[in-house]
Amino acid sequence: MTARNAAASQAPDAGRHQGSDVNRLVTVENLGAWMLKCNPEVWDLAAFRADGGETIDQWSVVANYRSALMAEGQQVLFWVTGPARAYPEPGLWGRGTILGRAGYSDTTDDDPGYWRDERLRRQSKHFVPLDLRLFDEPIPRASLKGKARLADLEVFRQPQMGNPLAVTKAELALLERLLPAQPQKITVTAAGAGFGNPVTNAEVEAAGMKAVTRHYKRDGWRVQDVSKQNLGWDLACTAPDGEVHRVEVKAVSGLVPKILLTRNEERAARENPGWRLAVVTKALVDPTLHFFDADTTVRAAEPFLFEVDLRRSHAGR
């Protein structure tokens, strides 16, 4: 599950002037990462997590010089505000990557989702696309405040500043030592295999299928969805001249075209003419298509997991 139309932790104009503090003018050269704040009284992080949410794909920011600097590939940290002993516990809750430029988005008529403050939801109209993963457990604010070398973090110095806040390169280097490892979660279903939980994967894959189908139809191809037939590809695409592409579709929410193939999909790549791999990056915010032929895909594939069924060996003893 992903979060969409998420809220800034303060009023949209908060921090507009603090953000231009000449003593901490942010530039691409001194930026280590952006930090986005979440106020659970405005956006219900606890309910999002209880519903299985793990990934946030956009967040609201103030339209100022800072948000204008936000660009694809930059790092981002996720900070949760609140009083001591609050739940969710205040502190550092996630990290991820910026997927593109911040821009205007009118979400007035959207489903409120996890918003708890309708006034702020309607006021928030400037969003940045993200691939941000939440930690299983946060790094508590109290523990970070106790580290002298992190005392100058902007979130401590100017807690009322609106999103985005900035983390310097030196501060990020210190935080990197504290950030928890994020193990890769793998889901294998009848539909295929992927990184992440099945709910989020289904949403991402659906966006990918839609993008690839639209791509082929725009060029006049006839497209048939055969993903339920377990053939080793998802779309059978036929060109006006009769050429056939058997397209296996993989989609990711981030920037890196790194995917999982099942044994059946890898076999289909080796044995079936016209097999193609379509990888859709940034699937939920700005679908970007990458196509690979069967030979390229098979050469890049490496064994990752082996299924070991020992029932016969055990029965033979």
pLDDT tens sequence across 177-207:
999 876 666 566 655 666 666 566 788 999 9
Segment (H or E) for 265:
helix 263-271
Quick check: bond before 12 cis, omega within 30? no
Is 222:253 a contact under the CB 8 Å cutoff? no
For residue 92, being part of any structural domain is answered with: yes
Quick check: bond before 180 cis, omega within 30? no
Rounded Cα distance, 64 and 273, in Å: 52
**Which tokens sit at 305?**
């997991």
Could you give the 3-state DSSP secondary structure of residue 280?
strand
CA 292 vs CA 216, 219, 255: distances in Å: 15, 18, 16
> Are residues 138 and 279 located together in one domain of the fold?
no
For residue 285, being part of any structural domain is answered with: yes
What is the pLDDT, as a whole number, of residue 317? 55
**Number of domains into which the chain is organized:** 2
E strands within the chain? 2-3, 31-38, 55-60, 75-80, 91-98, 103-104, 126-140, 165-168, 186-189, 192-195, 222-225, 235-238, 244-251, 275-281, 288-293
What is the pLDDT, as a whole number, of residue 102? 95
Residue 240 CB coordination number (10 Å): 9
Segment (H or E) for 108:
none
Comparing 142 with 306, the larger pLDDT belongs to 142
Q: Minimum mean pLDDT among 1-10, 64-73, 160-169: which range?
A: 1-10
pLDDT of 295 > 50? The answer is yes
| Phi, psi angle pair for 277, to nearest 5° | -110, 125
Segment (H or E) for 69:
helix 65-69
Using pLDDT thresholds of 50, 70 and 90, give the confidence band for residue 304. Answer: confident
> Are residues 9 and 122 located together in one domain of the fold?
yes
Where on the phi/psi map is residue 297: left (φ > 0), alpha (ψ -120 to 50), or beta? alpha
> Are residues 138 and 244 located together in one domain of the fold?
no
Rounded Cα distance, 119 and 158, in Å: 24
> Are residues 208 and 97 located together in one domain of the fold?
no
> Are residues 146 and 48 located together in one domain of the fold?
yes
For residue 310, being part of any structural domain is answered with: no
CA diameter of the chain: 76
> Are residues 132 and 271 located together in one domain of the fold?
no
pLDDT of 107 > 90? The answer is no
Is 49:179 a contact under the CB 8 Å cutoff? no
- pTM, two decimal places: 0.75
Express as a percent the part of the chain with pLDDT over 90.
Answer: 69
For residue 311, being part of any structural domain is answered with: no
Total length of the chain: 317
Backbone Cα Rg of the chain: 22
Comparing 304 with 272, the larger pLDDT belongs to 272
Average pLDDT over residues 156-172: 95
For residue 308, being part of any structural domain is answered with: no
Is 290:249 a contact under the CB 8 Å cutoff? no
Quick one: DSSP state of residue 20? G
Highest mean pLDDT among 54-58, 135-139, 289-293: 289-293
Pick from 64, 74, 37, 33: which is nearest to 166 by CA?
Answer: 33
Is 208:249 a contact under the CB 8 Å cutoff? yes
Q: What's the CATH code of the domain at 170?
A: 3.10.590.10
Q: What's the CATH code of the domain at 190?
A: 3.40.1350.10
Is 68:19 a contact under the CB 8 Å cutoff? no
For residue 59, which amino acid is it?
W
What is the pLDDT, as a whole number, of residue 301? 92
For residue 306, being part of any structural domain is answered with: no
For residue 257, what are the domain limits? Answer: 186-300
Highest mean pLDDT among 7-21, 37-51, 181-195, 294-308: 37-51
> Are residues 159 and 243 located together in one domain of the fold?
no
For residue 95, being part of any structural domain is answered with: yes
For residue 9, being part of any structural domain is answered with: yes
**What are the percentages of helix, strand and coil residues in the chain, rounded to 5?**
30, 30, 45
> Are residues 8 and 69 located together in one domain of the fold?
yes
pLDDT of 95 > 90? The answer is yes
Average pLDDT over residues 111-117: 88
What is the pLDDT, as a whole number, of residue 313? 67
> Are residues 105 and 22 located together in one domain of the fold?
yes
> Are residues 273 and 211 located together in one domain of the fold?
yes
